[in-house]
Amino acid sequence: IQALDTLGGTKWRVNKRVLDVVDRIWNSGGRLAHLVDRDDVPLPEKPDTEDETLLKKWKWKLRNAKKENRERHSLRCDTELKLSVARKMKDEEGFYYPHNVDFRGRAYPMHPYLNHLGSDMCRGILEFAEGRPLGNVGLRWLKIHLANLYAGGVDKLSYEGRVSFTENHLDEIFDSADKPLEGNRWWLRAEDPFQCLAACINLSEALRSSSSETYVSYLPIHQDGSCNGLQHYAALGRDKLGAAAVNLMAGEKPADVYSGIAARVLDIMREDAQKDPTSFPDALQARALLDQVDRKLVKQTVMTSVYGVTYIGARDQIMRRLKERGTQLDDSQTFGASCYAAKVTLTALEEMFEAARSIMSWLGECAKIIASENQPVRWTTPLGLPVVQPYRKLGRHLIKTSLQVLTLQRETEKVMVKRQRTAFPPNFVHSLDGSHMMMTAIACKRAGMNFAGVHDSFWTHACDVDQLNTILREKFIELYDAPILENLLESFEESFPTLTFPPLPERGDFDLREVLHSTYFFN
């Protein structure tokens, strides 16, 4: 409750300058800065032929065009809803987002449209309503934050490298702030363009003020976990190899797990590309993808792997990335390439994160044993929140009336064994990252700081980032100093004394206190 009060007590306001730019782009048809095109894709005309091959291709293109238009319509509605809220609130001094928790203990703002969990557009439009002077360190963090938002590999440099990047692009930053649409539009090259624009405006004002130290900034500065799910697994398993890969250990620059996976995927594809396509058909897919493999292609799959992403989910993620790039492959070739790339990416993940996989397997096996007794998996989070997985089979009930027969669905007493098993590892880790965020939020409030959280991304004012970094590391160590897996196994054995559970997976000898000295643990 204290954590939800802290999150709900953070005061927000609309960044009018960014909202004005969003409105101008939207009114001119969208298409820029990841905004959806306001026009539909034209439907392909049916070819005047009896050729089944050509007709089949036309049907494929027609189906995809209709699907694209449905998606665009949905995105346009979503954008309009968010902008309507922003326009309504833009003249308010400030407003608040009450929060609640899901069944796992993860916090979410209760307003469904414009909030800081939303898209880049939403985050760019929102800022803290209460400003704070940048002070001695705030200007540096503002420069680092801008480089992070620009991304494109810049966010993988050392902090000094990111500061240098920002300082080397001050002309573009000033131009973006002064003439966002009439100038060179440098901010549009950023991975998070609207947030980058907000940072350009903020930094320009600070540098042009009489004293940057006394300049009052309203911009939230983010500290993000490095593939946070794997960070939690590395801490659970005291896994040195995993800890090094996800920045639980100190390094001169951030370790990039996504680049590591991408490199392994590329190695596998190079080997496959050398094979004979007549005996190994995937050789053709490998050859087509050799110049497409990078961290961005595999990032979403790596992020969601610890949360139980399936082969089909991985395939769809990679297919979206390939379509975004506008490759020379047609739709059927893109589908085949995505199937192959998903298979290779999941193979690379299994090779590189064996310790995390062993914990995931143990959690899944425990869940299977419990669910086989027709019981849902239950546990208590480190903050004392009881969690029950809500997955039960649905029963059909027919209601006959004089006009029609209605079919209603409702949960039965029978649990879904497979769903209980596959959902437990990600739900358990989500309950842990929710606990870490709440522990950090409470400590920040006691320290007199403004705090906002988006699961594994913690936000505060630029002047308070150093203090936030200290707190979130201390709370991570405090969380994992407790014997979490031992307590979980003990609770299972107490609840189900007649069942036999597998022994805990072996743990390594990683010292959690190394997190205190890891510059890029959250960065």
| pLDDT tens digits for range 137-187 | 999 999 999 999 999 889 989 999 999 999 999 999 999 999 999 999 999
Q: Tell the residue number behind the tokens 């209709």, with chain if given.
A: 66
User: Residue 50 carries which side chain, given as an amino acid letter?
Assistant: E
228-237 helix and 417-446 helix, angle to the nearest 10 degrees:
90
Q: What is the pLDDT of residues 9-45, one digit of tens each?
A: 999 999 999 999 999 999 999 999 999 999 999 999 9
**Res. 109 pLDDT band, cuts 50 70 90:** very high
pLDDT confidence of residue 480:
97
Is 456 labeled as catalytic in the residue annotation?
Answer: yes
User: Residue 286 carries which side chain, given as an amino acid letter?
Assistant: A
The residue annotated as part of the active site, out of 155, 192, 282, 456, is 456
The residue annotated as part of the active site, out of 37, 40, 78, 224, is 224
Question: Structural domains in the chain?
Answer: 12-92+143-220 (1.10.287.280)
Is 224 labeled as catalytic in the residue annotation?
Answer: yes
**Average of per-residue pLDDT values in the chain:** 93
Q: What is the pLDDT of residues 210-247, one digit of tens each?
A: 999 999 999 999 999 988 999 999 999 999 888 988 99
Is 88 labeled as catalytic in the residue annotation?
Answer: no
Return the closest-CA partner of residue 415 out of 392, 395, 388: 392
**Res. 356 pLDDT band, cuts 50 70 90:** confident
Instruction: Give CA–CA dist 313/303, Å, rounded.
Output: 12
User: Residue 398 carries which side chain, given as an amino acid letter?
Assistant: L
pTM for the model stands at 0.87
At 259 the three-state DSSP class reads: helix
The residue annotated as part of the active site, out of 82, 299, 445, 475, is 299
Q: What angle do CA 299, 303, 307 make, to 5 degrees?
A: 150
Instruction: Give CA–CA dist 422/426, Å, rounded.
Output: 8
Instruction: Give CA–CA dist 331/334, Å, rounded.
Output: 5
Instruction: Give CA–CA dist 218/203, Å, rounded.
Output: 11
Q: In 10 A of CB 4, how many CB atoms?
A: 15
